[in-house]
Amino acid sequence: MMSVRSSQRASSFVSRSALALLLATGLLGSTGCGHEAHATPPPPSTQEVAQQVSAEAAAAVTAAPAPAGPAPVPATFDVADLAQRVTPMVVNITTTQKVAGGGPGFGGIDPFEFFFGPRGGGGGERAPRTPERQMARTALGTGFIIDPEGFIVTNAHVIEGADDVKVRLADEREFAADVVGRDTKLDLALLKLRGASGLPVAALGSSEALRVGEHVLAVGNPFGLGHTVTLGIVSAKARSIGAGPYDDFIQTDASINPGNSGGPLFNWKGEVIGINTAIRAGANGIGFATPVDALRDILPQLREKGRVERGKLGLLFQPLTADLGKAFGMDTPKGALVSDLEPGGAAARAGIKPGDIVVAVNGTPIHHAEDLPRKVARHAPGTTIKVSLLRSGKPLEVTAKLDQLGDGNGDEVDTKPTRGPKAPATANKFGFQFSDLAGGGVRVDRVTEAESELSPGDVLLEVNGAPVRDAKALEAALGKMKPGTVAAFKVRRGKITRFAALPIK
């Protein structure tokens, strides 16, 4: 309202100014003698006066600097028009899987025996059962067209184990489809319709440029009802929900239900920015979509090879807690803390060491530890990448030639493990009791601090980068540390090596 009224006042002011100036020039032109009148330049026309006043007003309005930042997203847009434009690009998917059923009728139950008991009667030997028959199990999903010749993107779990895949377009045409490729780690699959051509194609946008709060439109086939649109916003980005090693989901409150899997999440421009993948059981208004940028990374391989080959560094890493960050001299704990290396792997060959903190890959910052495997896996095996590190607080850059990721998760995050049992609070001031280990080193015997990252049985290998030789030397080293500081232990727990923080009180 404020901007409309201001515009009206400016327009009124311009009109009054033009009229006043016009009257003034008319009066001046009618006074004085004829000689002076001829010497005076002719008065400007009404149009010239209006243009001059309008230019001055416009200059005053545009004098304020334009705000910096990305182009604003409109608060409102024609949702019906958007839905009409994008729904032809969305398809409904039905898969059929043959499974062993059992005997005849009622899901494998013989109706005669159900009502009358075992065949043959009289407690005698039962007659031979009818052989098990094949039963068809169907599943529903959604997908979207990315090529006019009939290439379809959906979720890998939609077509998992399918013997037959049928795809229905928005115009009710139905096609058989073949599975071209799949990637179970990102839960994405590529299909090809048989005999299709000239299909409408969904434009792929940028999930990186997507901002929290933007409007999004989900289109899918919830509960097999057919094409359905739901509107919402981007609630969060980079969500990790424990679905796999490369969790990086867009969270939205646009309604997503069973049957929406594999369907597109559109931005207000009509571009696909995500693939609807998961819902939160028991929670309303929370759905998750795989970012479209992840699809872009693997699409060429799915189309050409039918599978995805990823590179790996060959290391184990862990998140940086506030205490660990403090122990390593960081004001803000960001990055991935390297806890162990694969012998002879890419990281070891590059000179990366346990205790290094990976802060960037090819110049892209690693804000959270979980970012590291996603950034590395975007590169093919054999690719050379630049890895930015912090070692003893000093920046360092190395190059690593990636190995090929096998069936495992490759570069794995070692989340904080379950702590061992705690003894009654009767131990020393460090919060744990320890003793010499046969053959060298120190073993944790008891832990009394409830929040300690140590557990009984841990073997302490280093403290603040210095080797731990025996219990006496460890106690002396800890005794020299000032209260309020944090000690960083390198710990062997079973076959895993990791780091643990110990605040000094």
Q: Active-site positions?
A: 157, 187, 261
For residue 235 the two structure tokens come to 């609630």
* CB-count burial class (<10 Å; 0-12, 13-18, 19+) for 254: buried
Q: How far apart are CA 125 and CA 147, in angstroms?
A: 62
For residue 356 the two structure tokens come to 């290094």
Q: How far apart are CA 433 and CA 419, in angstroms?
A: 15
Rounded to the nearest 10 degrees, the angle between the axes of helix 46-61 and helix 2-30 is 140
Query: β-strand 188-193 against 151-154: which pairing, if any?
Result: antiparallel
For residue 347 the two structure tokens come to 């990281």
Give the residue from 356, 332, 323, 354 showing the smallest Cα distance to 487. Answer: 323
Radius of gyration of the chain (CA): 35
For residue 146 the two structure tokens come to 């990315």
User: In angstroms, what CA-CA distances link 280 with 86, 143, 267?
Assistant: 26, 20, 22
Q: How far apart are CA 43 and CA 278, in angstroms?
A: 74
User: In angstroms, what CA-CA distances link 303 with 167, 202, 476?
Assistant: 19, 17, 62
User: In angstroms, what CA-CA distances link 62 with 56, 58, 323?
Assistant: 10, 6, 52
| Residues 248, 252, 255, 258, Cα dihedral to 10° | 10
